[in-house]
Amino acid sequence: MTTGPHSQNAVHIIGAGLAGSEAAWQVASAGIPVVLHEMRPHRMTEAHLTQGLAELVCSNSFRSDDAANNAVGLLHAEMRKLGSLIMRCADANQVPAGGALAVDRNGFSDAVTKALETHPLITIDRAEVEGLPPDDWGNVIVATGPLTSAALADAIRGITDEKALAFFDAIAPIVHFDSIDMSKAWFQSRYDKVGPGGTGADYINCPMDKEQYDNFVDMLITGEKTDFKEWELNTPYFDGCLPIEVMAERGKETLRHGPMKPVGLTNPHDPTVKAYAIVQLRQDNKLGTLYNIVGFQTKLKHGAQTRVFRTIPGLENAEFARLGGLHRNTFLNSPKLLDQQLRLRAQPRLRFAGQMTGCEGYVESASVGLMAGLYAAADAKGEQLSPPPITTALGSLLGHITGGHIETIDSGPRSFQPMNINFGLFPPLVTPPTKKADGTRLRGNEKTVAKKQALSARALADLDVWIAASLPAPAAAA
Ligand SMILES: Cc1cc2nc3c(=O)[nH]c(=O)nc-3n(C[C@H](O)[C@H](O)[C@H](O)COP(=O)(O)OP(=O)(O)OC[C@H]3O[C@@H](n4cnc5c(N)ncnc54)[C@H](O)[C@@H]3O)c2cc1C
């Protein structure tokens, strides 16, 4: 049998980001040759800056490392049990960040690159895959991420029969609370609704009269916008996520009937005067030091944003923790298009991994890469691999991606949205804990903490059983 990377049973992995790098490691660790295709540095994405594999495009945090109390910390622990390269390199390049696992981004990427470049079963091909993989690639993992190159995205769109594959994710600006003038703004929820977990006074409201509103809409329409690149011109927005200036262009009154509607709110500074339009801000962090402007996702240039948003009464001296922006996000309607093993139903030789499958975040992307790698390796060996238990973080995330989403919750054009791992994806405990170790009753928050800890303990125990039953020793090595 040929064992070189170009042998018949080689797995072709497209994209050496978080997911593709982890998948390559898992496949090669199972003794199967891999050809890893990465387009950088010949073609860069809008966010990547280097040619390193597994480059972190934004923050350097893998979030909480607390396996007992936090779902992403649990996912770290499960990946470590499965010999994850991404976790090994993250652990080796950790920088101080409290309970979070943050890494030296260059050290981390260098370590992943070196491990893959020096693996005898891995060949790295620095080239863009510009369309559907050739027919003789029988076992493929597509892990090209949210910024998948246009040629490949178009080809995938062609075989999935989906109206769109790429969307814009828009981000609203965030303001420091202590820079908001509360002598003009006030706290109130619309119709004083308490809502789940609210107080009835959860939003900050900034009132506008007709003249201020008309000027504001004019400034939005004429403000300088970030240009769309050619490939972006035909990329749609999520319907519920239109940039504010795009809404303003649809008609002078559109915003007054949308995010700036003045109903259900009374200005305590001037109770007899009805505001013509109202801008709302919502708490953005637990401390209550940051508020985001609701519905104000935008592609105005940064200078224009500060100028225009400081005309809002109450925000004249606003300091922005983050300005709004837009980035492309390419992901599949996975519950419809992928089977349980992440294979495209229409062409099962193509398996998907990473953010393209509709998970969100570095760790989640790497974890789906890990599972895709295990499945591809099993296929190459002609073996069956059962899915990880649904009680584990890996199993619950996979379950959500491939079948856990209920389309009827939100009947928009695409209701499946990228999701971080969270305990809400896990099946509930059969008998939730009610007592502490000393026999006394759990109270208030103690119950929530105990429940998370019980979910985590169940996950780790069930994963151990699955590993012992399903995986040969090399992949299961810690
Ligand atoms: C701008 C931006 C900021 C983000 N910030 C964060 C953050 O701070 N924290 C967080 O947890 N998550 C963040 N994410 C979300 C997500 O976690 C990351 O995008 C993550 O890198 C996704 O992993 P991936 O492996 O799916 O894709 P990537 O890591 O992007 O890897 C995909 C790889 O495929 C390559 N590629 C693309 N097309 C082709 C092709 N046709 N042929 C060959 N190679 C190709 C790319 O060059 C890239 O190396 C961010 C996403 C974006 C777009």
Instruction: Give the model confidence (pLDDT) of 15-71 as tens digits.
Output: 999 999 999 999 999 999 999 999 999 999 987 889 999 999 877 889 899 999 999
Best mutation site among 362, 364, 368, 422 for ligand 1 pocket (most ligand atoms within 8 Å of CB): 362
pLDDT of residue 236: 62
What is the reported pLDDT for 174?
83
Among the listed residues 140, 176, 177, 187, the one whose alpha carbon sits nearest the alpha carbon of residue 159: 140
In whole angstroms, what is the distance from residue 95 CA to residue 84 CA?
Answer: 19
Percent above pLDDT 70 for the chain: 88
pLDDT digits (tens, 9 = 90+) for 212-230: 999 999 999 999 887 766 5
Average the pLDDT over 363-377 and give the result.
98
Residue 267: CB within 6 Å of ligand 1?
no
H-type helices in 235-361, by residue range? Answer: 244-249, 302-309, 334-337
Spatial CB neighbours of 297, under 8 Å, sequence gap ≥ 6: 170, 171, 172, 241, 242, 243, 244, 324, 326
pLDDT at 237 > cutoff 70: no
pLDDT at 208: 98
185 touches ligand 1 (CB under 6 Å): no
Q: What is the mean pLDDT of residues 327-334?
A: 85
Q: In this model, does residue 394 exceed pLDDT 90?
A: yes
Protein residue closest via CA to atom 12 of ligand 1: 361
CA distances (Å), 254 to each of 206, 247, 277, 329, in order? Answer: 18, 6, 11, 26
Confidence of residue 8 (pLDDT cuts 50, 70, 90): low
pLDDT of 113 higher than 60: yes
pLDDT-derived band at 409, boundaries 50, 70, 90? very low
Written as six digits, the tokens of 14 are 């497209």
Q: Whose CA is nearest to atom 45 of ligand 1?
A: 15
- Report pLDDT digits (tens) over 418-454: 778 888 888 889 999 999 989 999 998 899 899 999 9
pLDDT at 200: 81
pLDDT at residue 335, as a whole number = 87
CB 169 within 8 A of CB 238: yes
Residue 233's pLDDT band (cuts 50, 70, 90): low
What does the pLDDT look like over 139-194, one tens digit per residue? 999 999 999 998 999 899 999 877 667 777 666 788 889 899 999 999 998 888 87
Measured in Å, residue 147 CA sits from the centre of ligand 1 at 6
Give the mean pLDDT of the chain: 88
Pocket test for ligand 1, best of 365, 371, 401 (most atoms within 8 A of CB): 365
Residue whose structure tokens are 């050619």: 230
pTM: 0.77
Among 295, 222, 221, residue whose Cα is nearest residue 258: 295
State yes or no: pLDDT of 7 exceeds 90.
no
The predicted structure's pLDDT at residue 286:
59
Please, are residues 191 and 266 in contact by the beta-carbon 8 Å criterion? no
In the reported structure, the alpha carbon of residue 384 is separated from the centroid of ligand 1 by a whole-number distance in angstroms of 29
At residue 411, the pLDDT reads 42
Tokens 């649809």 correspond to what residue?
250
Predicted local distance difference test score (pLDDT) of residue 424 = 80
What is the structure's pLDDT at 266? 96
Query: Over 60: is that where the pLDDT of 76 sits?
Result: yes
Picking from 3-17, 332-346, 369-383, which range would have the lowest pLDDT averaged per residue?
A: 3-17
pLDDT of residue 41: 98
Average pLDDT over every residue of 305-326? 91
Q: What angle do CA 86, 335, 33 make, to 5 degrees?
A: 40
Asked if residue 418 has its Cβ within 6 Å of ligand 1, the reply is no
Nearest alpha carbon, ligand 1 atom 31: 17
Looking at the predicted structure, is the pLDDT value of residue 414 above 70? no
